[in-house]
Structure 1
Amino acid sequence: MDRLAFDIAHFLAGGLVLISFVLLYQDRLFALLNAYALQALTLAFAVAWQAHIQEAPHLYITAGITLVFKALIIPVALHRMVARLGVHREVETVVSLVPTMLGGIGLVALSMVVMLRVTHGADPLTREDLAFALSVVLLGMLMMVTRTNAVSQVVGFMSLENGLILAAAAAKGMPLVVEISVAFSVLIALIVIGIFLFRIRERFDSVDLQALDDFRGETR
């Protein structure tokens, strides 16, 4: 593999980690959804580049699915849900911004140390992409546990899934049946999420999951 191919793959995978921090930083729902769309777009380019350097044409299908569903359909659908729900306010957090970002930096450092040691026998590109992928997964988990808004938790879950897709592509691809299954699973999850959000809004006049905790406390 020439140096340019390595650098481009490294740049795209690193970009996913950077955008994960952008997701953690956002405190407005529409800005959060736009950042997620950018992350999915970057993932599509990263997978397409992996298809090119690995000479694995089936990964172009993965890149296409990511581009259409995760970078276009899902962000547009979530934008419309947020607009219909009328939740244009700030995203409430469990932990303030500075500790969250510091925790994110710590998780990235942990990912690098663990993954680079575990994969010492693999080629350098695979090792580094897997380390970046684990970073994206952990940052997605961090976002889920530090947000109380249901929409932002959904975005955190989708970001986590982006990390898993990057890991699968870096580890010499995934079977086509898995790609198709992932696409349908995402669509089904989006439908369920939509119903879930509207039911919360209808019942509690909010999509803040703190309302569910308060409700459970009142019924005891």
Structure 2
Amino acid sequence: MMLPSLLIQEALPLINLCAAILLLLGFAMLSQRRILTLINLFMMQGFVLFCSTLIVAVATHQRHLYWSAALTLLLKVLALPWILHRLIRRLSVKWDVETLLNIPTTMLVGILLVIVSFNVAQPISQLSGTIMRSTVGIALACVLLSFLMMITRSKAVPQVIAFLAMENGLFFAATSTTYGMPMVVELGIALDVMVGMVILAIFFFQIREQFDSLDISRMEQTQKAHEK
């Protein structure tokens, strides 16, 4: 059962504000080189995602979205940032010194991706019947910005954070178009993310022991040297 349309109209500015903040956080993560700050930005992104999901749940009376919001708060605001903070303390990694592109060039590419996202999402948003259909373009932009961050980083830890941020964008896109995924699917994804995070943590320690660095380019250089 839907709540009065007046409540939905009042929720629209808050939803658009959350979408704008998510996009700004995406650009902030794209330009950030300090890994500690990058984790904090990822945690803020998760909190904004929690707020937007909760607002939609209240405005539309979609009960499963309350569980989605609670799962987002537990996993992306509390659990994953805590694991990442412990991981970088153990690995003594604080800076992502080298990137494949300099920051101004990366930001310009990010702006182009946002323009492309809005053009691609326009026909999709017209087909959607949700109150968040106007945010589909921003959701797609967040996914592409996270993908750009993942391919332009030279160290493994920022790449993993970018991958997790991409999942945030996908979740926001699902909420924008169809009011989220079934609860069984969300629980399965949450479990996969947690298990994947544990496996990646073990993988990071193995890389550090073998190559004495988490820089991906050094791994490639070492592999080429062994092949010769």
Alignment TM class, shorter chain as reference: over 0.9
1:173 to partner: Cα distance = 2.2
1:124 to partner: Cα distance = 7.5
| Residue 146 (structure 1) aligned to one of 152, 167, 179 | 152
Instruction: State the secondary structure of the residue aligned to 1:119.
Output: helix
Flag structure 1 segments of 5+ consecutive residues without an equivalent: none
| Residue 163 (structure 2) aligned to one of 133, 154, 157 | 157
| 8 Å contact kept, 2:46–2:73 | yes
1:41 maps to 47
What code does the residue aligned with 1:100 have?
A: T
Q: Does 1:183 align with 2:190?
A: yes
Q: Does 1:106 align with 2:112?
A: yes
Q: Does 1:199 align with 2:206?
A: yes
Structure 1 residues 146-199: Cα deviation after superposition (integer angstroms, max 9, x where no partner): 101100000100010001111111222211101111110111011111011111
- C-alpha distance in structure 2 between counterparts of 1:173 and 1:77, whole Å: 26
Structure 1 residues 61-84: Cα deviation after superposition (integer angstroms, max 9, x where no partner): 111111111111111111111111
Structure 1 residues 12-41: Cα deviation after superposition (integer angstroms, max 9, x where no partner): 112111101110111111011111111111
2:76 maps to 70
Structure 1 residues 38-60: Cα deviation after superposition (integer angstroms, max 9, x where no partner): 11111111111121222111111
Instruction: State the secondary structure of the residue aligned to 1:93.
Output: coil
- C-alpha distance in structure 1 between counterparts of 2:96 and 2:148, whole Å: 18
- C-alpha distance in structure 2 between counterparts of 1:59 and 1:121, whole Å: 21
What TM-score, normalized by structure 1, do the two folds share?
Answer: 0.95
Instruction: State the secondary structure of the residue aligned to 1:89.
Output: coil
Percent of aligned pairs with the same amino acid: 36
Instruction: State the secondary structure of the residue aligned to 1:148.
Output: coil
Instruction: State the secondary structure of the residue aligned to 2:126.
Output: coil
- C-alpha distance in structure 1 between counterparts of 2:198 and 2:96, whole Å: 24
What code does the residue aligned with 2:43 have?
A: A
Q: Does 1:96 align with 2:102?
A: yes
Flag structure 2 segments of 5+ consecutive residues without an equivalent: none
Q: Does 1:29 align with 2:10?
A: no
What TM-score, normalized by structure 2, do the two folds share?
Answer: 0.92
- C-alpha distance in structure 2 between counterparts of 1:72 and 1:89, whole Å: 22
Give the number of equivalent residue pairs: 220
- C-alpha distance in structure 1 between counterparts of 2:97 and 2:29, whole Å: 11
Instruction: State the secondary structure of the residue aligned to 1:120.
Output: helix
Instruction: State the secondary structure of the residue aligned to 2:132.
Output: helix
1:58 maps to 64
- C-alpha distance in structure 2 between counterparts of 1:177 and 1:122, whole Å: 23
1:209 maps to 216
1:117 to partner: Cα distance = 2.6
